Amino acid sequence: MGGIVSLGLPAAAPEFTTTHWSVVRAGGDRSSPAAQTALEELCRTYWYPLYVFVRRRGYSPEDAQDLTQEFFARLLQKNSISAAHPGKGRFRCFLLGALKHLLADEHAKAQAKKRGGGQTIISWEQDYAEEQFAHEPVDEQSPDRLYDRRWALTVLDRAATRLRVEFAAAGDASLFEHLKLYVTGKHGAPAYAATASRLGLSESAVKSAIFRLRRRYAELVREEVAQTVNDARELEVELRHLRSVMTT
């Protein structure tokens, strides 16, 4: 479910609470267990945009895997949070700045077998990574742009997955499967009347269900983005960036 018709994100942000990234930033060099756990969760979520960036820079799949693992080794094991560029407080910018620093540092250094100390820092999904990369657009202007696009799609996919889980938990998995095309950017959503007939509902009931689905999806997108920023102001900036990435 990698896209949506319209984000439809509410203008007013809900009360801003402690997020993964704010916990990490508060930990600094002496990261607490909570900060380390939060950072590991963010890294597990957003490893693929980093891999895409490295691949688009011209590295082979094997070197891209090694470099991405080395990046996480430094980030998670060497308390390098405060040493890297903070990216104005947004985790997306911080990660890309830190990765660029790593690539510059590694350009004339150790052989791939020495990277990461031979340790697996994240659970690697090599087949998935290359299968997905093969479908990335070939006309992107830069690795940076592709990174941002894949970041945005990761946010949307996570929100869609959470939405699917919520419907399943409520016993509405079938309803979700019938309505998801009205929320995602994929073509081919049937007419409301056709869906209403399949579900045994009125057309107005289907329209109301789609409205609620879109609204909840937008809320989940906000929640996902919120985990990567420090405060409500940065949340709005990052949401605007996500909109622009998905509409250009």
Collapse the DSSP code of 8 into the 3-class scheme (helix H, G, I; strand E, B; otherwise coil) and give the result.
coil
What is the pLDDT at residue 73?
82
Q: Are 86 and 94 in contact (CB under 8 A)?
A: yes
33-47, 150-164, 194-208, 217-231: range with lowest mean pLDDT? 33-47
pLDDT score of 11 more than 50 = no
Provide the domain count of the chain. Answer: 1
Q: Does the residue 60 lie in any domain?
A: yes
What is the pLDDT at residue 157?
93
- The closest alpha carbon to 154, from 32, 72, 45, belongs to 45
Domain enclosing residue 128, as ranges: 20-247
Task: Output the CA–CA distances (angstroms, integers) from residue 66 to 15, 42, 69, 101, 124, in the order listed.
Answer: 40, 19, 5, 15, 10
Q: Does the residue 13 lie in any domain?
A: no
Q: Does the residue 47 lie in any domain?
A: yes
Q: Does the residue 183 lie in any domain?
A: yes
Interval 78-111: pLDDT, tens: 656 655 444 557 889 988 988 998 888 876 564 4
What is the pLDDT at residue 203?
95
Q: What is the enclosing helix (H) or strand (E) of 208?
A: helix 203-226
Q: Does the residue 103 lie in any domain?
A: yes
Question: Does the pTM of the predicted model rise above 0.85?
Answer: no
Interval 25-81: pLDDT, tens: 766 555 578 888 888 888 889 999 999 999 999 899 999 988 998 888 888 776 566
pLDDT score of 209 more than 90 = yes
What is the pLDDT at residue 167?
94
Q: Does the residue 1 lie in any domain?
A: no
Q: Does the residue 14 lie in any domain?
A: no
Interval 109-134: pLDDT, tens: 644 455 555 555 555 565 667 677 66
Interval 179-205: pLDDT, tens: 998 986 556 788 999 999 999 999 999
Q: Give the separation between CA 176 and CA 164, rounded to whole angstroms.
A: 7
What is the pLDDT at residue 7?
43
The token duo for 34 is 């909570």
What is the pLDDT at residue 2?
46
- Local confidence band at 138 (pLDDT 50, 70, 90 cut-offs): low
The token duo for 184 is 């995602």
Q: Does the residue 95 lie in any domain?
A: yes
Q: Give the separation between CA 127 and CA 176, rounded to whole angstroms.
A: 29
pLDDT score of 15 more than 80 = no
Q: Is 107 exposed, middle or buried (0-12, 13-18, 19+ CB in 10 A)?
A: exposed
Collapse the DSSP code of 101 into the 3-class scheme (helix H, G, I; strand E, B; otherwise coil) and give the result.
helix
